[in-house]
Chains A and B, each alone.
Chain A
């Protein structure tokens, strides 16, 4: 089983749509969780951290289910500028010495 698994997509949605991405991770010792955004041929940038209680940042909502080892990202009212690849990221172990990245889910928002 891969350490972090994501549906690669692509997800093609119209502007204004709501879209959800899911991610599963294999190591129950992982302590911290994140969503990163990567634009084409650019470096990944931190979108948001993911907390057990769930957290929201504007149109973006992240959820974590430790029991199921499952992470989600919900984007409401999609904008053209949301088109990118979204990477699910977890710490490898309790020491957190390294972040493990999923391969990403590609989102394309069209007008």
Chain B
């Protein structure tokens, strides 16, 4: 069966520090991968999606970036965090959109 792993679960980072969140999927090949963010009291915002290695589509201009160095690995990065980057970051995968997405357990990021 397919599983998605996301870490760390919780992270507290100072303003201006770098960020790297990793997500991996097991048990499938060539998944579509997604990064979402949920700010406190707000809905899920799509940040990036990828349909293949090295293929990244950005949804929102900001100081975050994403990379997909391997088929089942998706990384979210920032060179310098802002207070407004705080939120619940969720990675998700799908094979086709018809069946919805499966989310990882998320990373709760607090920028202080």
Contacts and interface: CB of A to CB of B under 8 A. Distances in A.
Interface of A: 31-32, 34, 36, 41-46, 49, 87, 89, 91, 96-104
Nearest to B51: A97
Contacts of A44: 44, 90, 103
Contact of A100 (B46, B57, B105): B46
A45 B108 CA distance: 17
Contacts of A91: 97
B98 interface: yes
A46 B44 CA distance: 14
Contacts of A100: 46
Contact of B100 (A42, A89, A104): A89
A46 to B, nearest CB: 5
Interface size on B, as a range, is 20 to 34
B61 interface: no
Contacts of B46: 98-100
Contacts of A89: 100
Given A96-B97, A99-B34, 14 more contacts: A43-B90, A43-B103, A44-B103, A45-B103, A46-B101, A46-B102, A49-B98, A49-B99, A97-B32, A97-B51, A98-B59, A99-B46, A99-B101, A102-B43
B97 A101 contact: no
Contact of B44 (A41, A45, A96, A101): A101
Nearest to A49: B100
B4 to A, nearest CB: 9
A32 B108 CA distance: 29
